[in-house]
Amino acid sequence: MTPSVTRIRVRYAETDQMGVVYYANYLIWMEVARVDYCQAAGFRYKDLEVEHGILLAVTEATCRYLSPARYDEEVEITTTISRAHRRAMVFHYEMRSATTGAPIARGHTSHMFLNRDLRPTTLPEQFRRLLGIPERPTE
């Protein structure tokens, strides 16, 4: 699937005493971008959970901070799937200034598919197709 682009305007409440975005907010932005990615792929993240009982448990999250984002700045987050197979996937995020294109941060989140009992499961074929996940793992 092609990358998904999400735009976020930095809110005052997201900044710290130094006037820059507090580091934990980047993880929240990644979650917003991930939900947008699913929507762009053709399904709602919420429906995956509620109607199909598939949960995406985060098994790892990283963020490399490159330059500060500040209050009222618009940030563009480009989201892709960097690795995927039937039981797990990795989303990759590139955050840039929407005005200048300057890199702000990059990161990834790794996810395992769980059922309602929080047991590992496989992603149903209809969602694998929408997300472009092959039958065999990609590296």
Three-state SS string over 109-124 comes to EEEEEECCCCCECCCC
Tell me how far apart the alpha carbons of residues 28 and 34 are, in angstroms, rounded to a whole number.
10
What local confidence, expressed as pLDDT, does residue 137 receive?
53
Q: Which tokens in the block code for residue 65?
A: 């901070």
Contacts of 129 (CB under 8 A, 6+ apart): none
Predicted TM-score (pTM) of this structure: 0.91
Coil, helix or strand at residue 45: helix
Tens of pLDDT, residue by residue over 14-55, are 999 998 999 999 999 999 999 999 999 999 999 999 999 999
Q: Which amino acid does the sequence have at 131?
A: L
Tell me how far apart the alpha carbons of residues 98 and 113 are, in angstroms, rounded to a whole number.
32
Instruction: For residue 124, list its beta bridge partners.
Output: none
36 is catalytic: no
What local confidence, expressed as pLDDT, does residue 132 receive?
84
* Short-list 13, 112, 18, 111, CA closest to 65: 18
Tens of pLDDT, residue by residue over 66-77, are 999 999 999 999
Question: Which residue among the candidates 16, 36, 47, 72 is catalytic per the annotation?
Answer: 16
Which residue's entry shows tokens 């590139």?
94
CATH topology of domain 4-126: Thiol Ester Dehydrase; Chain A (3.10.129)
What local confidence, expressed as pLDDT, does residue 136 receive?
62
Q: Which tokens in the block code for residue 134?
A: 């092959």
Tell me how far apart the alpha carbons of residues 91 and 79 are, in angstroms, rounded to a whole number.
7
DSSP run (H or E) holding 61:
strand 55-65
Tens of pLDDT, residue by residue over 80-135, are 999 998 899 999 999 999 999 999 999 999 999 999 999 999 999 999 989 888 76
